[in-house]
Structure 1
Amino acid sequence: MFSLFKNLRKTKTPFVYTDQRVQVKRRLENELAAGRHVVLLYLDIMKLSDIELKFGYMAAGRILQHMDQALLIACRHSLMPPTRLIAIQKLWADDYAVYLSFEQHCTDVLVHHICITLKHEVEKVLNRKITHSHISNIEVHIGYAKIEGMDLAKDMYSSVKLASQMAKCGFMSEEFRQMQEFRRIMEQEDIHTVIQPIVSLKTGVPLGWETLVRGPENSCFHSPGQLFSFAQKTGTSFQLESLCRRHAVKRLGQLRPSEKLFINLDARSIDDPFLLRGRVFKLMEQYQLNPHNIVFEITERHAIKNFASFRTIIQAYRKKGYLIAVDDAGAGYSSLEAIAEIYPDYIKLDMALIRNIDSDAVKQALVETFVQFADKVKCRIIGEGIETESELETLVKLGVDYGQGFLLGRPGRDGAPITEQAINKLRQLQEERSMLQFEEPSGKVGDIVRSTVCVNQDTLVREVHHIFERNAKIDSIVVLEGRIPRGLIMRFQLYKILGGQYGVALYYEKPVSQLMNRSPLIVDRRENIELVAKNAMERQSFYLYDVVIITEKGQYTGVVTVQSLLDMLAKAKLEIAAVSNPLTGLPGNVRIDREIAVRLGKRNDFTVIYADLDKFKWFNDQFGFELGDEIIRRTAQMLGTAIRVSGGKHCFLGHIGGDDFIMITPPDHVDEIVLYVRQRFHDHFQDIAGDEKDVGTILSISMAGIRCVPGVYKSSGQVAEKAARVKKEAKKIIGISYIEDTELCNQARM
């Protein structure tokens, strides 16, 4: 080997051993400084370890000596100007690095051709020199990587790693071609983002959009799974993650002030300086948004190794105003631990929990537990992967706040609107939720409005801060454009932002529009207090105790605090309780009369069903008042269920007293309600036993239907009088019966 090195020095061939890599680095620096492009070729001998095991250490050693000579000869024969040989470095064992430089940018096609030529030449020379009779057809791996020179010491290491990975997968293989394609994508940043809506399951309005990465069209890397798989294989995960986030942030310009952008953030690269050093803030300022418009999804692809360190970084994001979500909850490494440590604003349930949830009781129980937990810690649940109406309906009934999936909207470059199918289904479910109107309006929000300080959008944050400092009793300032409310600033929120490390420097001399909540809760003064209170308590935890802005014909009139809303609601609940039946909690006679009078005044066509248990007094006398009360409660539950399963809308259930009940329903749903009572009545009482008799098999109910056509009845008293007469006829029929006032001529429906 020494004689070989001496011959190489005579011919000035740049062959360098491992312990002389400083010399290689110096040569590369000179080439890069001259503006030339540098490429590393990596070579190693295939299955050399197998040869050593089979033929011995000496045979393998001789092959390595031949390889030194073969590589030198092959480089002389195959590398022609303008390609320039910089150095041949023996890395370790049978691994070699060949450094080339080019006057102009070298294409992958050119380098690929050089690799093929050099590989064939090395193998030809090497096999010619091997004289061992049983060793033949030695092959070599070859791969390449371009050296950028930004950090040469680091580039030399990473390029060897990349080129060796390329070599090991087989130079002519499909994987090698994919490796080339992946490198091109990273170098040219040839990715794009699509956005998918995240929708309120109560209103159908988008909460925001999740950004999802896609590779080039018609490429195997169009799928993000393939992209990230190759990134992990090539050690470029952080570069790809960072590239995806930079592209995602460009979507800020498409947001409305009330919407949020959900961006995936890998637990291993959470301290991305791009997100923490102000460039994102400049973009938000450009689009008049704030950090609360961005939600970082902590993905569960990799476990969080150090929660103490991780939590510190999360707090840095929170101080700047960003929101946090835990993604893939219920399916990752440590999602429950992550939730407990991070205190997220949103929990995204993995699609594995959502798939077929409508027919899986275990999944329903798990999601219900998440919903209850989220309610207690003031965060919101998002169900991912909703694809069927049955899944959507189940999530709505379980109380999940938001949803995402193909049924609601597919990912698209421009953000496709919510699908008409989903909108119609959500509207139907919303109508069903309001079907049983047991409670009366509890007053108008305009009755408790009060004033506060108002400023315009150009007012500086400094001035707003001074207003709060001078007026200790003011907790809110409304931002107006003329008389139209455009935003809201709460004292505690402003102090929290300004109290951060860079809060004053970033915002103090900026207009208040940079910090204000651009999507406060704004309602008309005629809105019902209960509905306003419900909407107020469903806001995000950061905005939960913001005042509600009150308008009249769109113009500002004042604000209402959450405390005053809850006080008024509690007062209204007491008033409702005073006119409700204490045993069942259903509306009593006062509210029943009012409900009938209101519907008569609207001149709607509706049916009143008067329901009365048969022989109830006998049951009370026979089995006691305790059992009688239980029968009354179960009757109320049964009638309420009958209304719900019938699909009836705008129905009302009231308790006249004792064993008498009133149902008010559109005529179209009468048959379904009566059918349910006939078929399922005994099921609700079958487990009640008194002494030696099964009460459930003896008990029955009589029902009288009064069709209230506009113009026939003038008052609720007239309806009640007619219902009493019809019920008397129904009582004559043994067992469960129903008679309508139009069917008294012996047309009882059994």
Structure 2
Amino acid sequence: MAEQLAFGTKIGIDEMPTVLVVDDDRDLRLAMCAMLAKRFQVLQASNGQEALAVLSEHIPELIISDITMPGMDGTVLLQEIRGRDLDIPVILVTGKPQLEGAIRAVEYGAFRYLQKPVNPRELEQVIDEAIHMRKMASAKRSLFQMTNGTPGTASDRAGQIARFERAVESIYLHFQPIYSLDRGTAVGYECLLRCTEATLSEPPALIRAGDELGRTDEIGRAIRQAALEELPRVPEHARLFVNLHYADLNDAELFDPNSEFSRHAERFVLEITERESLDAIAQAQDKVQQLRALGFEIAMDDLGAGHNGLAAFAQLEPEVVKLDMKLVRNLDRAEKQRDLVQVMFDFCEQGGMQVIAEGVETPEELQALSGIGVDLVQGYLIAKPQRHAQEPPNPWDSSKE
């Protein structure tokens, strides 16, 4: 029986629950498989990488894994599993129990932490409990999803960590031009966050995950690195607009004068949104001045969308102000809205600040903005975000069609 067990081979009949056994010790692995074969379909793998390959094709009810294995050990495998399925119970076994291993097992949501040699009766009892908990957890998660709840278990956190790390590793940018109506060319490109991790593909979801994990700085660093990689494609007269999360102001790397990003400071404008609470950052005004001393210009994003407008002006003293798209939408048909935008534009111009109107989608909105005096525009009428910085067609040509 044991010799017939091969990697990825199912044992038993289809009605039986499936168990995946992972151990680099072949004899122990086959002995465990033989013991379980009477009650379960048994899959096996000799290391963490093989286990992930099995999981790409099968969803077992339970995983039993050794901790100490070459390459990917059991706790790393557990973290990867949590990134794929929050509810699969994982029993970790080890011949050399250590406090650090036990702590990591609990942190990543292991169902149980057992010492070798495992007592068969104890293992059978733990397996029964695990499979029961698997069913209960799946039902509970379904209920939470129906009621928009958040379970918040250790396995949830481990899965969130795994998904977050995959997302950060896959970060790339799209670039949307900022067009000067007077000069007839793009004078900047906003860097827009993207990633290939399906569960965190929307930027707010990724940023929220970073906030919850206390790892927002990793997102900011990945964005800045991606912007640097695009810089050689950007014309010398244009700059890249990089969004800063307010927590980025606590990242010492951003203020390093010897970093590659700082060495190209004159090519970047750092956007801080009005929605963010700068009060949450100690000495925010001083830190903004430090960035300006490095050569960066500061933009206040989404003016008109939040409630911190005057306070943000006072703290940031921005060189650039971006009008929120809600102020631009249907501007041509709303007289009071045009009056408000005119007042904001005049205020900024008198203060020496450049104004960018975001979210321009129609020729009529473009005409209304031009009538107010706005020179810099951004939006789908100009160009949709693209994988690389590209010169857009003249929007006046589009408005005539």
Short-chain TM bin: 0.5 to 0.7
Question: For residues 393 and 418 of structure 1, do their structure 2 counterparts lie closer, same or farther at Cα, with a shift above 3 Å needed?
Answer: same
Deviations 1:685-741 (A, max 9, x none): xxxxxxxxxxxxxxxxxxxxxxxxxxxxxxxxxxxxxxxxxxxxxxxxxxxxxxxxx
1:264 aligns with 243
Q: C-alpha displacement at 1:200, in angstroms? A: 0.8
DSSP 3-state at the match of 2:201? coil
Preserved CA contact (<8 Å) 2:194 2:202 = yes
Deviations 1:626-650 (A, max 9, x none): xxxxxxxxxxxxxxxxxxxxxxxxx
Map 1:145-294 → 2, pairs under 5 A: 165=152, 167=154, 169=156, 180-186=162-168, 189-216=169-196, 219-280=198-259, 282=260, 290-294=264-268
The letter of the residue matching 2:193 is V
Preserved CA contact (<8 Å) 1:79 1:85 = no
Establish whether residue 314 from structure 1 lines up as the match of residue 326 from structure 2: no
Preserved CA contact (<8 Å) 1:198 1:403 = yes
Deviations 1:361-385 (A, max 9, x none): 2221111011110121111100111
- Whole-angstrom CA distance in 1 between matches of 2:214 and 2:221: 13
2:75 aligns with 39
Question: For residues 351 and 248 of structure 1, do their structure 2 counterparts lie closer, same or farther at Cα, with a shift above 3 Å needed?
Answer: same
Deviations 1:19-47 (A, max 9, x none): xxxxxxxxxxxx99x998573879xxxxx
DSSP 3-state at the match of 1:385? coil
Question: For residues 268 and 126 of structure 1, do their structure 2 counterparts lie closer, same or farther at Cα, with a shift above 3 Å needed?
Answer: closer
Q: TM-score, normalised by structure 2?
A: 0.63
Establish whether residue 424 from structure 1 lines up as the match of residue 397 from structure 2: yes
RMSD: 4.1
- Whole-angstrom CA distance in 2 between matches of 1:170 and 1:139: 18
The letter of the residue matching 1:278 is P
Q: C-alpha displacement at 1:169, in angstroms? A: 4.4
Deviations 1:485-514 (A, max 9, x none): xxxxxxxxxxxxxxxxxxxxxxxxxxxxxx
1:735 aligns with none
Preserved CA contact (<8 Å) 1:262 1:297 = yes
- Whole-angstrom CA distance in 1 between matches of 2:322 and 2:207: 21
Identity %: 27
The letter of the residue matching 2:98 is I
DSSP 3-state at the match of 1:297? strand
DSSP 3-state at the match of 2:210? helix
DSSP 3-state at the match of 2:283? helix
Preserved CA contact (<8 Å) 1:192 1:215 = yes
Deviations 1:238-294 (A, max 9, x none): 2222322222232222222211111111222224333321344x4676xxxx53221
Map 1:698-717 → 2, pairs under 5 A: none
Question: For residues 328 and 116 of structure 1, do their structure 2 counterparts lie closer, same or farther at Cα, with a shift above 3 Å needed?
Answer: farther
1:402 aligns with 376
Preserved CA contact (<8 Å) 1:165 1:234 = no
- Whole-angstrom CA distance in 2 between matches of 1:121 and 1:298: 55
- Whole-angstrom CA distance in 2 between matches of 1:291 and 1:249: 10
Preserved CA contact (<8 Å) 2:177 2:186 = yes
Q: C-alpha displacement at 1:305, in angstroms? A: 0.7
Map 1:239-638 → 2, pairs under 5 A: 239-280=218-259, 282=260, 290-305=264-279, 309-419=283-393, 422-424=395-397
Q: C-alpha displacement at 1:208, in angstroms? A: 1.0
- Whole-angstrom CA distance in 1 between matches of 2:282 and 2:103: 42
Preserved CA contact (<8 Å) 2:178 2:188 = yes
Q: C-alpha displacement at 1:165, in angstroms? A: 4.3
- Bigger RCO (CA 8 Å, 6+ sep): 2
The letter of the residue matching 2:211 is Q
The letter of the residue matching 1:167 is A
DSSP 3-state at the match of 1:337? helix
Deviations 1:319-343 (A, max 9, x none): 2221110011111241321112222
Larger Rg: 1
Question: For residues 388 and 122 of structure 1, do their structure 2 counterparts lie closer, same or farther at Cα, with a shift above 3 Å needed?
Answer: farther
Preserved CA contact (<8 Å) 1:263 1:297 = yes
Question: For residues 232 and 272 of structure 1, do their structure 2 counterparts lie closer, same or farther at Cα, with a shift above 3 Å needed?
Answer: closer
Alignment length (residue pairs): 302
Preserved CA contact (<8 Å) 2:349 2:355 = no
Question: For residues 354 and 384 of structure 1, do their structure 2 counterparts lie closer, same or farther at Cα, with a shift above 3 Å needed?
Answer: same
Question: For residues 242 and 263 of structure 1, do their structure 2 counterparts lie closer, same or farther at Cα, with a shift above 3 Å needed?
Answer: same
- 2:128 equivalent among 94, 114, 124: 124
Question: For residues 165 and 395 of structure 1, do their structure 2 counterparts lie closer, same or farther at Cα, with a shift above 3 Å needed?
Answer: same
- Whole-angstrom CA distance in 2 between matches of 1:221 and 1:419: 32
- Whole-angstrom CA distance in 2 between matches of 1:84 and 1:301: 51
Q: Which runs of 5+ in 1 are unaligned?
A: 1-30, 43-73, 90-95, 101-110, 129-135, 142-163, 429-750
- Whole-angstrom CA distance in 2 between matches of 1:368 and 1:88: 62
DSSP 3-state at the match of 2:229? helix
DSSP 3-state at the match of 1:407? coil
2:98 aligns with 86
Q: C-alpha displacement at 1:228, in angstroms? A: 1.4
Q: C-alpha displacement at 1:194, in angstroms? A: 1.3
Map 1:590-739 → 2, pairs under 5 A: none
DSSP 3-state at the match of 1:305? helix
Preserved CA contact (<8 Å) 2:359 2:380 = yes
- Whole-angstrom CA distance in 1 between matches of 2:171 and 2:325: 25
Q: Which runs of 5+ in 2 are unaligned?
A: 1-66, 80-88, 115-122, 139-150
- Whole-angstrom CA distance in 1 between matches of 2:272 and 2:325: 16
Deviations 1:507-550 (A, max 9, x none): xxxxxxxxxxxxxxxxxxxxxxxxxxxxxxxxxxxxxxxxxxxx
Q: C-alpha displacement at 1:393, in angstroms? A: 0.9
Deviations 1:453-488 (A, max 9, x none): xxxxxxxxxxxxxxxxxxxxxxxxxxxxxxxxxxxx
2:12 aligns with none
Q: C-alpha displacement at 1:87, in angstroms? A: 3.3
- Whole-angstrom CA distance in 1 between matches of 2:243 and 2:361: 22
Question: For residues 121 and 309 of structure 1, do their structure 2 counterparts lie closer, same or farther at Cα, with a shift above 3 Å needed?
Answer: farther
Q: C-alpha displacement at 1:80, in angstroms? A: 4.9
Preserved CA contact (<8 Å) 1:409 1:417 = no
Preserved CA contact (<8 Å) 2:249 2:281 = no
Question: For residues 120 and 272 of structure 1, do their structure 2 counterparts lie closer, same or farther at Cα, with a shift above 3 Å needed?
Answer: farther
1:725 aligns with none
- Whole-angstrom CA distance in 1 between matches of 2:275 and 2:125: 44
- Whole-angstrom CA distance in 2 between matches of 1:222 and 1:88: 33
Question: For residues 123 and 363 of structure 1, do their structure 2 counterparts lie closer, same or farther at Cα, with a shift above 3 Å needed?
Answer: farther
